[in-house]
């Protein structure tokens, strides 16, 4: 029977979310009904609220979430009721060339970006029957979600839900940028520009692989102090000459530099942070249509590389359980990312805090 669910809805016009009851359909063939228990408040949601990215609307927001499978539709084999799952905001079709090549994040058969399930439907509606769209086909700021089977990845039941929710986006995006995209070797030097939930995950990934030194850059002293707890060896305030500071620490520049904000000026700064032959990694996502100016001659002559990183180059069904194990064995202190546990009704304040550069990560608890 269709059920109601308290959810945070964005109408596409203001930057405020309205928390109200919405209708959630039964899971159809190949679909999974999840009772969400936690949803992170991520920078990518803010891009949408602030009008930087356009989406079908009204939208149930949230794309990093975890919960328990409540029911499955016909043909579902990967998960069963009672399984604990982390949701992936990019459901791979498992049939296209990118999926076959292990690049699930580049799947060409998914309709996640259109906020639609594989059959083109949306499982959500307002009380009057108006269609609502789940953000990136998950819509985790809600008590219930109906998702594609490949978007629900089983994880160990001992994983706390708040930590699990962050594996759904920020942790996978940040740690994966280090391990899957840049493939940073032990002993390499690295700089991380922007230490929010995703940037701190990059710092954790660098500590995991044994990068050294690890230079954290942020405008906020509080974020820098947190980065140090996660393994940054040097801290640099962004309102100083960052390139000079990174050269002072590394000698000729970093082997790897990560931009984890999504701002054009900091993206343009990346090559200056690198040693000749170094690699800059674009993790932060700028507004649609943003164009950066790079000194091309300098980039070519010094043999530097710039690479894009989407969802940490992850295959969710492989990477989510791996990251869960690394947390459970004490190798990744993911619980320290959760700085604020809040109710759904406090979601607007959480985005305001993010806009002010405050809070490591707010997680909405959906008990």
Binding site for ligand APR (CB under 6 A): 42-44, 47, 170, 173, 193-199, 217-220, 223, 238, 260-263, 266, 283-285, 354, 357
Q: How many CB atoms lie within 10 A of CB 84?
A: 22
Q: Shortest approach of ligand APR to residue 303 CB, angstroms?
A: 26
**DSSP-derived secondary structure for 253-270:** -EEEEEE-S--HHHHHHH
CA–CA gap between residue 123 and residue 70 (Å, rounded): 15
Please pick, from the candidates 17, 24, 42, 203, the single residue that binds Zn ion as defined by CB under 5 A. 42
Least separation in angstroms between CB 64 and Zn ion: 5
**Residue 206 contacts Zn ion per CB under 5 A:** no
Does residue 267 contact residue 282 with C-beta atoms inside 8 Å? yes
Report the residue number, 179 or 266, with the smaller CB distance to ligand APR.
266
- Sequence-distant (6+) residues with CB within 8 A of 213 are 189, 190, 233, 234, 249, 250
Judged by CB, which is closer to Zn ion: 44, or 309? Answer: 44
Which residue's beta carbon is nearest to the bound ligand APR? 196
**Binding-site partner at residue 195 among ligand APR, Zn ion, none, CB < 5 to 8 Å by type:** ligand APR
Minimum CB–partner distance for residue 359 and ligand APR (Å): 7
Contact status, residue 350 vs residue 359, Cβ threshold 8 Å:
yes
- Choose among 159, 136, 141, 190: nearest CA to 310: 136
Please identify, using beta-carbon distances, which residue of 76 and 166 lies nearer to Zn ion: 166
Question: Who's near 352: CB < 8 A, 6+ residues apart?
Answer: none
Residue span binding Zn ion (CB under 5 A) among the ranges 165-173, 204-212, 265-273, 341-349: 165-173
Q: Which does 197 bind (CB under 5 to 8 A by kind): Zn ion, ligand APR, none?
A: ligand APR
167 binds Zn ion (CB under 5 A): no
Strands laid side by side in the 214-218 sheet = 234-237, 214-218, 190-193, 254-259, 274-282, 305-308
Packing angle between helix 221-229 and helix 197-209, nearest 10 degrees? 30
Q: Which is nearer to Zn ion, 147 or 169 (CB)?
A: 169
If the CB atoms of residues 121 and 220 are measured against ligand APR, the closer one turns out to be: 220
Comparing CB distances to Zn ion, the nearer of 105 and 215 is: 105
> Where on the chain is the footprint of Zn ion (CB under 5 A)?
42, 44, 169
């Amino acid at each position: 029977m269709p059920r109601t669910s308290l959810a945070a809805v964005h109408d596409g016009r203001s930057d405020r979310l309205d928390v109200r009851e919405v209708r959630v359909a039964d899971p159809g063939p190949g679909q999974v009904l999840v009772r969400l228990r936690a949803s992170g408040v991520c920078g990518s949601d803010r891009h949408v609220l602030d009008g930087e990215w356009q989406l079908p609307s009204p939208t149930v927001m949230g794309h990093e979430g975890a919960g328990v499978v409540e029911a499955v539709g016909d043909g579902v084999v990967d998960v069963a009721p009672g399984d604990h799952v982390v949701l992936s905001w990019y459901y791979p079709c498992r049939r296209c060339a990118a999926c076959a090549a292990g690049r699930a994040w580049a799947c060409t058969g998914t309709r996640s970006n259109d906020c639609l399930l594989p059959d083109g439907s949306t499982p959500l509606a307002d009380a009057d029957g108006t269609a609502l769209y789940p953000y990136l086909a998950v819509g985790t700021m809600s008590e219930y979600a109906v998702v594609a089977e490949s978007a629900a990845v089983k994880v160990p039941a001992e994983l706390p839900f708040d930590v699990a929710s962050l594996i759904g986006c920020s942790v996978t995006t940040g740690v994966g940028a280090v391990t899957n995209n840049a493939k940073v070797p032990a002993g390499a030097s690295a700089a991380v520009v922007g230490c929010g939930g995703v940037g701190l995950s990059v710092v954790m990934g660098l500590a995991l692989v044994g990068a050294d030194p690890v230079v954290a850059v942020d405008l906020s002293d509080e974020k820098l102090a947190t980065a140090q707890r996660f393994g940054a060896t040097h801290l640099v305030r962004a309102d100083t000459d960052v390139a000079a500071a990174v050269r002072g620490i590394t000698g000729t520049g970093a082997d790897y530099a990560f931009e984890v904000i999504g701002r054009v000026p900091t993206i343009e700064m990346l090559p200056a942070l690198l040693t000749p032959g170094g690699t800059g990694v674009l993790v932060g996502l700028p507004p649609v249509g943003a164009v950066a100016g790079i000194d091309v001659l300098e980039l070519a002559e010094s043999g530097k590389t710039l690479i894009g990183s989407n969802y940490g180059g992850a295959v969710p069904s492989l990477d989510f359980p791996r990251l869960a194990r690394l947390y459970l064995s004490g190798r990744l202190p993911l619980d320290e990312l959760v700085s604020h546990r809040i109710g759904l009704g406090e979601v607007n304040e959480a985005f305001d805090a993010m806009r002010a550069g405050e809070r490591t990560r707010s997680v909405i608890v959906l008990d």
